[in-house]
Amino acid sequence: MARSIMEVAFLSAEKVEFDNVKLVKLFVGDEPDGKRDLGISILSMNVAEEALDEVWAACEGLDVLEPIRVTTEIERGSKNTGKFIVLHVEPVKAATAQAPKPTQQSAQQPAKPAGTQPEPAKAN
């Protein structure tokens, strides 16, 4: 099975529980193709059984149309189509906020070469 990471707009998450069955479905929006859909292309994806609670918790604080990063596994569906199974969801802003930022000191001072160098000669 192939894995994919995509950035899309969060629309909704739906939880269904009945007869000892628990399901979570994620609805996201992508750019329309202009032929079959206009405005936003709506995708519906099932969540992997082992990730139900994690994905639901990750979606609880999201705003509608907030950009999210979704990790999916692509299973082979009927008629050789691919089915996206959600493994992980995170807001894009949280992922970019965790990126390391250069410290103020290293940004202001030029890098000094390692080793010793003789002092420049002074003119009298």
Q: What is this structure's pTM?
A: 0.70
How many domains does the chain contain in total?
1
In tens, the pLDDT along 13-42 reads: 999 999 989 999 999 998 888 888 888 889
List the CATH number of the domain containing 81: 2.40.50.140
**What are the start-end ranges of the E strands in the chain?**
2-18, 21-30, 41-47, 67-76, 82-91
Closest by Cα among 25, 24, 31 to 6: 31
Residue 24, in any domain of the structure: yes
The values of phi and psi at residue 108, to 5°, are: -90, -30
Residue 108, in any domain of the structure: no
Q: In sequence order, what are the beta bridge partners of 85?
A: 46, 73
Residue 115, in any domain of the structure: no
In tens, the pLDDT along 48-85 reads: 999 999 999 999 999 999 999 999 998 887 777 778 99
Query: Which residue range is the domain that position 40 belongs to?
Result: 2-95
Residue 69, in any domain of the structure: yes
Residue 121, in any domain of the structure: no
Residue 88, in any domain of the structure: yes
Q: Is 122 exposed, middle or buried (0-12, 13-18, 19+ CB in 10 A)?
A: exposed
Rounded-to-5 percentages of helix, strand, coil across the chain: 20, 45, 35
